[in-house]
Amino acid sequence: MVQALSVAALTVLIAIGSTAAVAQTYPNRPIRIIDAFPAGGAGDVIARIIGPHLSSLLGQSVVIENRPGAAGNIGADVAAKSAPDGYTLFMGVTVVLAPSRTLYPKLPYDALKDFAPVGRVGSSAYVLVVHPSLPVNSIKELVALARSKPGQINYASGGVGSGQHLAGELFRIRASIDLAHVAYKGGPPAVVAVASGETAVGFMTVPAGLAQINAGRLKVLATSGKQRTPALANVPTIAESGYPDYDVTPVFGLFVQAATPKNIITQVNGELRKVVELAEVKERFVAQGVVAGGSTPEELGTILATEIAQWAKLIKTAGIHVN
């Protein structure tokens, strides 16, 4: 009996020791951050800003891996099916993850069940821009022009079902205008399309469009969030421009596969929160139109769940769908 108890006790001690060893040895090899959009997009820019700092704090190299396609769903699926060991982080954006559950009923992953939130990184906004040749300088003027030419003005986005597409559709519905959607393979190609005059209007992330805006190749009319964007402080929001119930604020955060050990999530969250509080990171974020801000895993999970419910309601009532 004593021998049996000793064996049982030894087994428990071994298990405890193994768990401690895992906690002590993570990470012991390179970590990747999957971004589900092409290089140059908002998530990619954010990941490349925080990557070196996470690498320094975690003691391992952090590699950014772009896996674009299907409005972010290819990259998300790769991350959702990765090993639950903390070596694959996913740069998720709520305005992509949340609507996808309603837009794509046959998704191969579930944003709530297959991911565990690690922590918030920051928030941004989309910008509504036009080619300089378009004779409008405000939302009011754009709406008037669109109403005079129903269906004749195109707007570009980073793809069908992307956050930019949904921001555009929400604006179209709120303003009661008929704009034709033109989908491109990611934000950067959409920027090029509007800057070249191929498409008259565009919705894009601030990081993707800022250089062209500053160079005068794009004329910015408004931003999509409730608050003005620091990098474009003089630009009004769509809400300020006559549509007070309009708000599309992309929140960026890191996620891991759902079965990842809690201790690893806690460790990465702690380091991530240190990174987003760094003065250098905040300054670089602001220059890209991003407001840095960390959170607990639970807070990020609440943000995602809330947005899933909000977008589902909007998509269904407004009849937004993926062709």
- Of 60, 92, 63, 98, which Cα lies nearest the Cα of 79? 92
Domain presence at residue 7? no
Q: Which CATH number belongs to the domain containing residue 285 in this structure?
A: 3.40.190.150
- Of 57, 50, 31, 66, which Cα lies nearest the Cα of 122? 50
Residue 29: count other Cβ atoms within 10 Å of its Cβ. 10
Domain presence at residue 16? no
Domain presence at residue 90? yes
Q: Is the peptide bond before 99 cis (omega within 30 degrees of 0)?
A: no
Stated pTM of the model: 0.80
Rounded Cα distance between 313 and 145, Å, is: 30
Query: Of 232, 259, 278, which one is at a domain's C-terminal end?
Result: 232
Long-range residue pairs from 278-283, CB within 8 A, at least 24 positions apart, any chain = 278/53, 281/49, 281/50, 281/53
Domain presence at residue 217? yes
**Is 312 in contact with 320 (CB distance < 8 Å)?**
no
Residues 132 and 220 in one domain: yes
Domain presence at residue 243? no
Residues 136 and 279 in one domain: no
Residues 48 and 96 in one domain: yes
The number of domains in the chain is 2
**Is 140 in contact with 241 (CB distance < 8 Å)?**
yes
Residues 131 and 92 in one domain: no
Rounded Cα distance between 259 and 59, Å, is: 23
pLDDT tens digit at each of 323 positions of the chain: 444 444 444 443 444 444 444 446 999 999 999 999 888 888 999 999 999 999 999 999 999 999 988 878 999 999 999 999 999 999 999 998 999 989 988 899 999 999 999 999 999 999 999 999 999 999 999 999 999 999 999 999 988 878 898 899 999 999 999 999 999 987 889 999 999 999 999 999 887 888 899 999 999 999 999 999 988 999 999 999 999 999 999 999 999 999 999 999 999 999 999 999 999 999 999 988 899 999 999 999 999 999 999 889 888 877 777 76
Residue 300: domain span: 29-123+250-318
Residues 136 and 273 in one domain: no
Residues 130 and 221 in one domain: yes
